[in-house]
Amino acid sequence: MTIGYHASHERFPPATLLGLALRAEQAGFEALMCSDHFHPWTTAQGQSGHSWVWAGALAVQSALTLGMVTCPMLRQHPALVAQAAATLEQLAPGRIWLALGTGEALNERITGQAWPAKRERQKALRDAAEVMRRLWGGEQVDHTGGFQVRKARLYSRPALPLPLLGAAVTEETARWMGGWADGLITISQPLAQLRRVVAAFEDGGGRGKPMYLQAKLSYARAEQAALDGAMEQWSANVLPPELAEGLDQPEQFEAHARSISAEELRGRVHVSADLARHKAWLQELQSLGFDRIYLHNVNREQERFIDDFAEHVLPALHTQAPSAASQV
């Protein structure tokens, strides 16, 4: 299994984040990923660089695989996302993957469009995935529906279509994505719920496909610092998905986050200053069958997290460098 580092655009300036990603690679993390946002969730997070521009800079400096969670519709046209991903693939052959999600109003409503119901967004997402695959395959593409494509053709194409994983948090979405996505990426939750998400994806048609996990944790060398850092940076990110996806301003997330208790946050983020506890938790997550686990330290102490986990945690997880077959 591969252990990766999640680079958080919402919390660090682009140049700083580039340095953190390269530091993680040098320390022994085996893969990198990020998310494609326009806004941060809160003003305390305070950043939100352009993930595609940043990924191009990283691709020519790193030797690791790089994945991005993105919504290829509404604020972004799927043909342009396909072009951007194909360009990245030429800069980093065999090392790029995407995970497609139905998005959040926080990012997608900036163009002034109405916020569609989830069922409508799901249909558009599946159509977008099909358009992207056809473009990567060299076809001239026309499409009508939730978005329009007219006589589009990519001329700088990947040698093979890029893997399109599905980004899902709930069982319902995971089951739906099992039938068409090339794999699954989800986030850490209480183990019983996470098992249900995995089972739903497999039952929906995803059995045997790659499964990746973004593990949310807060590590600092003092317990109170780990908790305070998580509360300050991440309390707005533990809101129920059905609420969070419809909020379109950081201030709205902040207002709802005021009611989040430390206990609620601990239910979604593994908070500890004890490296042994983090190891034990990650070993539990390993047992669920994920091919990759990307570690996301949700507080600001990234350098200590990278260095301490590289020395004390990663070796215990029996990591191995990704083979050619696991480059998706």
Q: How far apart are the first and last CA of the chain?
A: 13
Cα atoms in the 13 Å half-sphere on the side-chain side of 172: 5
Query: Residue 206 corresponds to which amino acid?
Result: G
Is the pLDDT assigned to residue 320 strictly greater than 90?
no
pTM greater than 0.75 (yes/no): yes
Helix (H), strand (E), coil (C) string for 19-64: HHHHHHHHHCCCEEEEECCCCCCCCCCCCCCCHHHHHHHHHCCCCC
**What CATH number is given to the structural domain containing 253?**
3.20.20.30
> How confident is the prediction for the chain on average, in pLDDT?
95
The pLDDT score that the predictor gives to residue 4 is 98
Residue 182: name the closest of 215, 206, 160 by CA: 206
pLDDT 10s digits, 212-257: 999 999 999 999 999 999 999 999 999 999 999 999 999 999 999 9
- What pLDDT is attached to residue 324? 33
**Strand pairing class (65-70; 96-100):** parallel
Whether residue 186 has pLDDT greater than 60: yes
pLDDT exceeding 70 applies to what percent of the chain?
97
pLDDT at 325: 34
Is the pLDDT assigned to residue 326 strictly greater than 90? Answer: no
The answer to whether residues 135 and 82 touch, using CB atoms and an 8 Å cutoff, is yes
CB 184 within 8 A of CB 196: no
Q: Minimal CA–CA distance to 248: which of 37, 81, 14, 11?
A: 37
Torsion sign, CA atoms 34, 38, 42, 44: positive
| pLDDT one-digit tens code per residue, 162-181 | 999 999 999 999 999 999 99
Q: Which residues are catalytic?
A: 37, 104
**pLDDT-derived band of residue 65, with 50, 70 and 90 as boundaries?**
very high
271 pLDDT exceeds 50?
yes
How many structural domains comprise the chain? 1
Q: Is 10 helix (H, G, I), strand (E, B) or coil?
A: coil
Is residue 12 very low, low, confident or very high in pLDDT (cuts 50, 70, 90)? very high
51: Cα separation from own chain's centroid: 12
For residues 296-313, give the mean pLDDT.
98
Range of the domain at 141: 2-326
Q: Above 60 in pLDDT, residue 93? A: yes
What pLDDT is recorded for position 1?
87
Residue with tokens 């068409």: 180
pLDDT digits (tens, 9 = 90+) for 15-49: 999 999 999 999 999 999 999 999 999 999 999 99
Residue 127: strand, helix, or coil: helix
Residue 328: pLDDT over 80: no
